Chains A and B, each alone.
Chain A
Amino acid sequence: MHGPVATTKGEAIARAEEAAERADALRQRADWLTHAILILGVALFALPIWIVLMGSTHDVATISRGEVPLLPGPYAIENYVAAWTEGSARTTRVPVSAMMLNSFVMAILIAVGKIAISILSAYAVVFFSFPGRMLAFWAIFITLMLPVEVRIFPTFKVVSDLGMINTYAGLIVPLIASATATLLFRQFFLTIPDELVEAAKIDGAGPMRFFKDVVVPLSVTNMAALFVILFVYGWNQYLWPLLITTTGDVETIVIGIVRMIGSEADTDWHLVMATTVLALLPPVAIVILMQRWFVKGLVETEK
């Protein structure tokens, strides 16, 4: 624009095209760089998983020698079968199949339990007026500030006084009260138009009928989103199961792996690797398969 005045129209067009091409080339270079850095990022994230995935197909001697294989070996089936049916014979002797079952029971019951009790209490707080409503709301809200980690010893004591050590109930029940899920449902219920409630009342539908026929069907997306987040939350619990389980009976896979490593003197590294792959498969699969709901749920619960 500030260059010499174009003598002909053709020249001006040629110059403009040239500028556009230069800009294109610059953009393309930037795009390549972007791709390169993103691929590097993705690779960095995948590297630890890759190592474990490949390592789980080699025998223990290879791993213990520290060869850190980056390509698959011949022992895949053997290792996974051994881990699945026997576990690490040299340390814990709990088969991974049993740990997986415990983890599934824990994750699913925590997710379902949290959703069930949260939707009920959110429904009570939003659609009814009763003495103590605000008190109940604050009592739920304040639990946000009391994660398990800050009341380790006293909670353990309560659970052990109730005789719930080494039981599924001890593993699950204390974790299913959740302020976050209640707050999410409450937020959503406030967007349900008053006219809908009005219409239901005129039609003679009682509160439970309205809950069953209107509120629950409308909440399905929210439930799906919460289910992903809570399943991952339940599956990944570490401190709580560590406190509650002292025998292998209700041991979850996440604490099982760490116990399998033991003192590192006599570790079946190849089985640890196979178990690690099995431990991260279910939550990763559920996040990837339900990615859309997961992202929506995550961003909304935290707001």
Chain B
Amino acid sequence: MRKRVIFPQVGLPYLLLLPQLAITSVFFFLPAGQAIWFSFLRQDAFGIRTEFVGFENFVELVQDPLYLESLWITLVFSFWVTALAMSVALGLAVLADRHIRGATAYKTLLIWPYAIAPAVAAVLWIFIFHPQVGLLGRFLNGIGVAWDYKLNGTQALITVVVASAWKQVSYNFLFFLAGLQSIPRSVLEAAAIDGASPARRFWTVVFPLLSPTTFFLLVINLTYAFFDTFGVIDALTKGGPAKATTTLIYRAYIDGRVNLDLGSSSAQSVVLMLAVIALTAVQFRFIERKVHY
């Protein structure tokens, strides 16, 4: 953790740490602390009086069917984004890892969606899914399928899942490829000499050896689906129709920024903080142990 040889100065390190700690205190710890404090308060309708209400904001959240529904939507949404983005990436990585000509070119052609903002990815997919100006949307309506993600909740969810997963595939692809390339050739050759078929080799040798990468990506993808997909949802559906794509983050944004509901928004922030802390803790546990079988 620390070097054996160090500089003896005492004041200097504080000076070096100052910018980072100042920003962290003002923009991280102060608001996080306020979120916790406000989550126990309630303001009256005019914002004049505030009173301490204990856990009432949390109790209300848990009893609010709409909040529970957005929790459920978040889980369904995150599951599909993660499953889709990871399985497509793994498939492509396995193929690109084969020793074929042009493997590097494929790599270049597959990683650039990483650079596209979630909100911009959403705009790109408008021109696929939109019932009037989208390629697929128009086609579906043309053959008699009533497709409009602005009216149908399930279709809205499909649209935001596809746009979110599309953007995340390249990230997963890079990590799966790095994971595959670190598997020693000798292990694979041994399995091949024992007569294992390619499919069997994949499931019994490659996949277990990839498990650290897979677990790591699982956490990263869940975090992405929970928090970073705000732009996709805001650009495509604005949480609608009828709140069908309102995830926890989207709801926290609406309650905090639009409805200016101090207590409830803060309580939601605290719940989300707990979720991030749990995800991060899981991530570090797995990385520490370097999960293998």
Report the number of A-B residue pairs with Cβ-Cβ less than 8 Å: 283
Task: Kindly state the interface size class of chain B when it binds its partner.
Answer: 35 or more
A140 partner residues in chain B, CB cutoff 8 A: 20-21, 24
Q: Give the distance to chain A from B91, nearest Cβ to Cβ, in Å.
A: 8
A99 on interface, CB distance cutoff 8 Å: no
11 contacts between A and B (CB under 8 A): A37-B92, A37-B95, A48-B124, A128-B6, A155-B27, A177-B20, A238-B117, A257-B119, A269-B133, A279-B117, A288-B112
B16 partner residues in chain A, CB cutoff 8 A: 120-121, 123-124
Question: Binding site of B, secondary structure by majority: helix, strand, loop or mixed?
Answer: helix
A153→B115 contact, CB < 8 A: no
Q: Give the distance to chain A from B269, nearest Cβ to Cβ, in Å.
A: 5
A217 partner residues in chain B, CB cutoff 8 A: none
**With known contacts A127-B3, A154-B269, A177-B24, A52–B231 Cβ distance under 8 A:** no
B110→A151 contact, CB < 8 A: no
Q: Give the distance to chain A from B283, nearest Cβ to Cβ, in Å.
A: 9
**With known contacts A52-B124, A66-B133, A128–B7 Cβ distance under 8 A:** yes
B27→A48 contact, CB < 8 A: no
A284 partner residues in chain B, CB cutoff 8 A: 112, 115-116
Task: Name the contact of A242 in the complex, choosing from B6, B111, B125, B234 (C-beta under 8 A).
Answer: B234
For B10-29 the 0/1 string (1 means CB < 8 A from A) is: 10111011011101101111
Residue of B nearest to A41 (CB): B92
B14→A236 contact, CB < 8 A: no
Complex interface residues of chain A between 190 and 226 (CB less than 8 A to chain B)? 190, 192, 194, 197-198, 201, 206-208, 210
Q: Which residues of A contact B (CB under 8 A)?
A: 30-31, 34-35, 37-38, 41-42, 45-49, 51-52, 55, 63-64, 66, 68, 116-118, 120-121, 123-130, 133, 136, 139-140, 143-147, 149-159, 173-174, 176-177, 182, 189-190, 192, 194, 197-198, 201, 206-208, 210, 232, 235-239, 242-243, 254-255, 257-258, 261, 269, 272-273, 276, 279-280, 283-284, 286-288, 291, 295, 298-299, 302-303
**With known contacts A194-B3, A238-B234, A51–B31 Cβ distance under 8 A:** no
B12→A177 contact, CB < 8 A: no
Q: Which residues of B contact A (CB under 8 A)?
A: 1-7, 9-10, 12-14, 16-17, 19-21, 23-24, 26-32, 34-35, 38, 88, 91-92, 95-96, 98, 100, 102, 106, 108-128, 132-135, 138, 166, 169-171, 174-175, 178, 216, 220, 227-228, 230-231, 234-235, 249, 252-253, 255-257, 262, 265-266, 269, 272-273, 275-277, 280, 287
